[in-house]
């Protein structure tokens, strides 16, 4: 059964106790089953408090991250492994079934050259023990291809699949994002085909990261492609209305992407759910 959710950056720039209370409460108010937590500072999260919120509101957590610069995997693979294992422990304690996003890179850190064999080998060395630990917990590690302006390492579903095959651990999956696909892929159907059944998580993000349905992403085409691919993972709205300044710089978010949270969700939630139902996807 597909779960609909939203990234916590809609409501807050972090995951303090106050941020968590707003995010989980509002997700429940909008009829969402999932809140994706940005685990950029995993050691600062009050796990017990968050678990109590998820239980009270009937909302499930997922977790995502990018690597901090001091743990950049191609240059500091051992530091990347240590950071990711720590984040995975927190994600597991929160009750998340996945740790996804960009565990292979620091966004905005570009070499101005194509990726090298040595870089991919370092990433594989960093992620292999993390994937094994995730398997012990019954969790997945997601690889999210990002556009060429944020990273040179993994831009397409085909590259994500190649990296997963290199690491060769069953707990790895592909996490697609419609914003990045709109830049890098020929179509959503082609991206799903290139993922070869490994796509289990999708960010629903408009072409300008604003309210879904207000830009030029082909949402109907996406839902049709997901149905054809027998997708049964999570569909999570991602729109950076509120975000950490450091992440805003890495993503080049220099102006508001939407008027407010209400605009994103009042347009996005009913549109995504109606298209999913019309396409025959299995949703609540």
CA 246 to chain centre: 17
What is the tens place of the pLDDT at every residue in 27-60? 999 999 999 999 999 999 999 999 999 999 999 9
Q: Does domain 3-279 have CATH number 3.20.20.150?
A: yes
Q: Which of 33, 144, 185, 206 is catalytic?
A: 144
Sequence ranges of the domains in the chain: 3-279
Calculate the alpha carbon distances from 256 to 43, 65, 182, 215, 262 in Å: 29, 22, 20, 14, 14
Q: Read off the pLDDT of each residue in 134-145 and give the average, rounded to a whole number.
A: 98
User: What's residue 255's pLDDT?
Assistant: 64
Q: Is residue 184 annotated as part of the catalytic site, yes or no?
A: no
**Average pLDDT score, the chain:** 94
Q: 20: pLDDT confidence band, cut at 50, 70 and 90?
A: very high
pLDDT bin (cut points 50, 70, 90) of residue 152 is: very high
Q: Is 18 one of the catalytic residues?
A: no
pLDDT tens, position by position, 171-223: 999 999 999 999 999 999 999 999 989 999 999 999 999 889 999 999 999 99
Q: Of 59-68, 80-89, 261-270, which range is least confident?
A: 261-270
Asked whether residue 109 carries a pLDDT value surpassing 90, the answer given is: no
More confident call, 44 vs 243: 44
Under a CB-based contact definition with an 8 Å cutoff, are residues 157 and 194 in contact? yes
Q: Would you tell me how many other CB atoms lie within 10 Å of the CB of residue 270?
A: 13
Q: Give DSSP secondary structure letters for 86-116.
A: HHHHHHHHHT-SEEEEETT--TT---SS---
Res 258 pLDDT > 70: no
pLDDT confidence band for 93 (50 / 70 / 90): very high
Q: Which of 36, 184, 185, 238 is catalytic?
A: 238
């Amino acid at each position: 059964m597909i779960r609909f959710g939203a990234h916590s950056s809609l409501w807050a720039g972090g995951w303090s106790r106050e941020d968590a209370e707003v995010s989980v409460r509002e997700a429940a108010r909008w009829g969402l089953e999932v809140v994706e937590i940005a685990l950029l500072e995993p050691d600062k999260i009050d796990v017990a408090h968050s678990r109590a919120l998820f239980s009270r509101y009937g909302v499930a957590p997922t977790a995502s991250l990018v690597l901090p610069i001091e743990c950049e995997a191609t240059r500091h693979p051992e530091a990347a492994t240590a950071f990711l294992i720590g984040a995975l422990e927190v994600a597991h304690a929160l009750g998340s079934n996945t740790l996804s996003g960009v565990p292979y890179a620091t966004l905005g850190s570009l070499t101005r050259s194509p990726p090298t064999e040595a870089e991919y080998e370092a990433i594989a060395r960093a992620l292999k023990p993390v994937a094994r630990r995730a398997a012990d917990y019954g969790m997945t590690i997601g690889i999210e291809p990002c556009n060429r302006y944020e990273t040179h390492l993994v831009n397409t579903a085909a590259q994500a699949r190649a990296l997963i095959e290199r690491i060769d651990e069953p707990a790895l999956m592909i996490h697609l994002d419609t914003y990045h696909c709109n830049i890098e892929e020929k179509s959503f159907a082609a991206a799903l085909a290139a993922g070869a059944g490994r796509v289990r998580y999708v960010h629903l993000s408009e072409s300008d990261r604003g309210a879904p349905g207000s830009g030029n992403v082909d949402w109907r085409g996406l839902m049709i492609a997901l149905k054809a691919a027998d997708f049964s993972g999570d569909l999570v709205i991602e729109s950076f209305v509120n975000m950490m300044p450091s992440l805003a710089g890495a993503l080049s978010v220099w102006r508001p992407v939407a008027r407010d949270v209400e605009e994103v969700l009042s347009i996005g939630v009913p549109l995504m759910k109606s298209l999913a139902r019309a396409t025959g996807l299995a949703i609540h």
